[in-house]
Amino acid sequence: MAAVPGGREGPVAGAVPVFLYHSVAVDPPSWIAPFTVSPRTFAEQLGMIVDSGLRVVPLRSLVAAQRGGEALPERAAVLTFDDGFADFRATVLPLLVRWRLPATLYVTTGGLGGGPEDGPFPPGSRMLSRGQLGELDAAGVEIGGHTRTHPQLDVLPGGPLREEVGECGRELADVLGHEVTAFAYPHGYSSRAVRARVREAGWTSAAAVREAFSSAADDPWRIARLMVRADTDRDRFREWTRGAGAPVAPFPEGVRTKGWRAYRRTRARLHVPYEAIA
Ligand SMILES: [Zn+2]
Give tens-digit pLDDT for 188-213.
Answer: 999 999 999 999 999 999 999 999 99
Residue 272 has pLDDT above 50, yes or no: no
Which three-class secondary structure string do you get for the chain?
CCCCCCCCCCCCCCCECEEEECEECCCCCCCCHHHEECHHHHHHHHHHHHHCCCEECCHHHHHHHHCCCCCCCCCEEEEEEEECECHHHHHHHHHHHHHCCCCEEEECHHHHHHCCCCCCCCCCCCECCHHHHHHHHHCCCEEEECCCCCCCHHHCCHHHHHHHHHHHHHHHHHHHCCCCCEEECHHHCCCHHHHHHHHHCCCCEEEEEECCEECCCCCCCCEEEEECCCCCCHHHHHHHHCCCCCCECCCCCCHHHHHHHHHHHHHHHCCCCCCCCC
Residues 192/8/54/232 CA torsion (nearest 10 deg): 90
The predicted model gives 81-101 an average pLDDT of 97
From ligand 1's centre to the CA of 147, what distance in Å? 9
Predicted local distance difference test score (pLDDT) of residue 261: 65
From ligand 1's centre to the CA of 69, what distance in Å? 29
The per-residue pLDDT of the chain, averaged, comes to: 90
* CA 37-38-44 angle, 5° bins: 90
Give tens-digit pLDDT for 140-164.
Answer: 999 999 999 999 999 999 999 999 9
Domains of the chain plus CATH, in order, are: 18-269 (3.20.20.370)
List, as ranges, residues with CB under 5 A of the ion ligand 1. Answer: 82-83, 186
Q: What amino acid is encoded at 146 in this protein?
A: H
From ligand 1's centre to the CA of 150, what distance in Å? 6
From ligand 1's centre to the CA of 208, what distance in Å? 10
Binning pLDDT at 50, 70 and 90, where does residue 2 land? very low
Residue 29 has pLDDT above 80, yes or no: yes
Give tens-digit pLDDT for 31-72.
Answer: 999 999 999 999 999 999 999 999 999 999 999 999 999 999
Closest CA to 208 of 225, 191, 194, 226: 225
